[in-house]
Amino acid sequence: MNSLTIARAIHIVSIVIWIGGVSFVTAVILPAIKSQYGFAQLESIFHLIEKRFAKIAKWMVLIAGMSGFYMVDQLSAWGRFTQKQFFWMHAMVLVWLIFTLALFIVEPILEKRHGKHSQNPKRTLQVTLLLHVILLTVSLVTVFISVLGAHGIF
Ligand code: HEM
């Protein structure tokens, strides 16, 4: 029981750092860059910040996944994935999969293919902001329904 509680605490701390970072990038960094658009250095500064955060996010996604699957095992909860009322468990795994793919596969491929500077930086910034808003919304809704689900609301 103790190890399950510790895994739960580790799970939440990693989620706080990871989704908190996504919130900061989405609500502060990207709009700030958008408002100052035109400064040539901004794209480089964004990549510098993003590169640092991506490193932290990768570790947090790894820790959240490990603690999450550990809890599933400890709770003998694998069967939940076949039950509709545990849709919030599916949502957690889905969000985790999206970020795992984005951080470990898609981003490195895109960076290799296009380099750090895009052909159309203004459009890239708009698309980046939109994607972050969508991902953040889905993540926050998942946090909300997961707390409700873990405490027996559904
Ligand atoms: C591989 C991915 C993941 C797995 C396997 C996983 C698994 C779990 C499990 C087994 C629990 C405990 C449920 C219970 O007590 O009945 C839990 C709780 C929770 N998880 Fe995840 N999770 C994953 C990813 C995520 C993600 C991406 C988020 C946030 C976006 C998240 C947020 C939460 C929250 C908020 C709780 C509730 C904690 C509480 O109130 O006690 N998890 N997770």
pLDDT value of residue 92: 98
SS3 113: helix
User: Is the pLDDT score of 1 beyond 70?
Assistant: no
State pLDDT tens for residues 15-40: 999 999 999 999 999 998 888 866 66
Which pair of tokens denotes residue 95? 């969000």
Nearest CA to ligand 1 atom 39: 147
pTM: 0.94
- Ligand 1 residue neighbourhood (C-beta within 6 Å): 8, 11-12, 15, 19, 64-65, 68-69, 71-72, 75, 77, 92-93, 95-96, 139, 142-143, 146-147, 150-151
3-state SS of 31-100 is HHHHHCCCCCHHHHHHHHHHHHHHHHHHHHHHHHHHHHHHHHHHCCCHHHHHCHHHHHHHHHHHHHHHHH
Residues ≥6 apart with Cβ < 8 Å to 132: 22, 25, 26, 30
Q: Tell me the pLDDT tens digit for each residue of 56-108.
A: 999 999 999 999 999 999 999 999 999 999 999 999 999 999 999 999 999 99
Give me the helix-helix angle, 87-101 and 121-150, nearest 10°: 150
Q: Which residues contact 67 (CB under 8 A, 6 or more apart)?
A: 7, 8, 10, 11, 14
Q: At residue 119, does pLDDT exceed 80?
A: no
pLDDT of the residue at 112 = 83
Average pLDDT over residues 7-11: 98
Q: Is the pLDDT of residue 41 over 90?
A: no
Distance 89 CA to ligand 1 centre (A): 7
